[in-house]
Structure 1
Amino acid sequence: MNAVAKIDEKVTELEMEAPAQPAAAPATVAPPVQPAPAPVKKKRRLGRFLLMVALPAALAVGGGYVWVTGGRYQETENANLQQAKVSIASDTAGRIVKVDIFDNQLVKQGDELFAIDPEPYRIALAQADAAVAGARLNVEQL
């Protein structure tokens, strides 16, 4: 133990004796200076700003422009043709039972375009014939 006590004593002495001035470090090559981390923070700040503020604002402005300038309305191109328009009408009224023409078909004067249901006219003719027969009968009885 004697040896251990001596070592402890020496250590205590060395701890109490602090060198007055630190020894000059041997001349060594200084490590290369690393770039300051500030530009990295600026880059990250700019990226965050663009991602969190500028990108949503740009999307909102673009979407608003599309919505205001025509995103709400359906639009078609209307073509004007040099064509004579002709009104088609019948002298008699009735229900159309057959159409003899198609879209964009060329027709000539006298072509049959449609057929009107003849049944109401047959009934009216039969009623008129009956009325005439009744009138003749009345005349004969006088």
Structure 2
Amino acid sequence: MVKPGAGAPVGRYLALLLVVATLLVMAFVIRRVDREPRTDDAYAYADTIDVVPEVSGRIVDLAVRDNQAVKQGDLLFQIDPRPYEEALLRANASLVALDRQIALTQRTVTAQQYNARSAHAAVERARAAAAQAIDTLHRTEPLLPQGYVSAQDVDLARTAQRAAQADLAAAEWQAQQAEAAVSGVDALVAQRAVVQADIAIAQLNLAFATVRAPFDGRVVSLHTSTGQFASALKPVFTLIDTRRWYVVANFRETELKDIRVGTPAAAFLLSDSGRRFRGTVDSISYGVLPDESGLALPGGLPRIERTLNWVHVAQRFPVKIRIDNPDSDLFRIGTSAVAVLYPGRR
């Protein structure tokens, strides 16, 4: 027969043991959380680009569909190349015509140069004839007083000297005229450089008409089809860079003391919480937008809202974790995640 009150000490011992066990568990959890910060305020992230055509035109071949995975170099879409092919043909034809014009002009210039050299030779002949006429006159004039020559001979010598000087002046004028008539092909050669630049631009525009994937990725936000007119510098869809995946986790500022770039980390996606993905800290944000400060800070800073207004809550800063072993079927931008940091490990 059990005596009354015999079970009371046992119950107190069990209650005390339960309290001690709870305190130990709490101490273990607090220590672990302090040494290995964890947060469920996290999401998956990857870099994205807007796929923007460099030229305008109608899409004649849309080779992808929404949410399709693509490899680097895969065709995304083809803009009608015919206007750009015609522009290239026209530029090449202009170059051929200009080359022929340069060749014809060069032949004309060569003939003009020959004429100029011939005129210079005529000047030399006229100069020699004039010099000879002057010498003849100088030899003839002293002989007149002595009666060796007649006055008519002297007059003829003077006339020949004046005619020779006139011929020399005419030859020099013709030589200057022939020299001035020599043109050149410099202007045409400069024009040829312009045409070559037009050809290069036409080739570039023709290449831009074919849009290919710049990296391995996944097509998202595709809301168009073949036949749509694509305008230059206006996005057609978005491409996610699936080569690198990250988890952006918002940790309290009190947990960032021992966190550095390269700190080991782990991430769990809520879409499959049983899988653990390893990673390392890629960067730690150096700015968020403080809602309570009243400061007008530049836009673009992350906005991390605090949940309690009646106590001072530690601010949270985004920590960007690069995932080492992402699963392309599970990782989606914005997927909820849990992140754990291991600052004590290498």
Q: TM-score range by the shorter chain?
A: 0.3 to 0.5
Give the structure with the higher percent helix: 1
How high is the TM-score relative to the length of structure 2? 0.17
Which structure shows the higher strand fraction?
2
Higher relative contact order (CA 8 A, sep 6+): 2
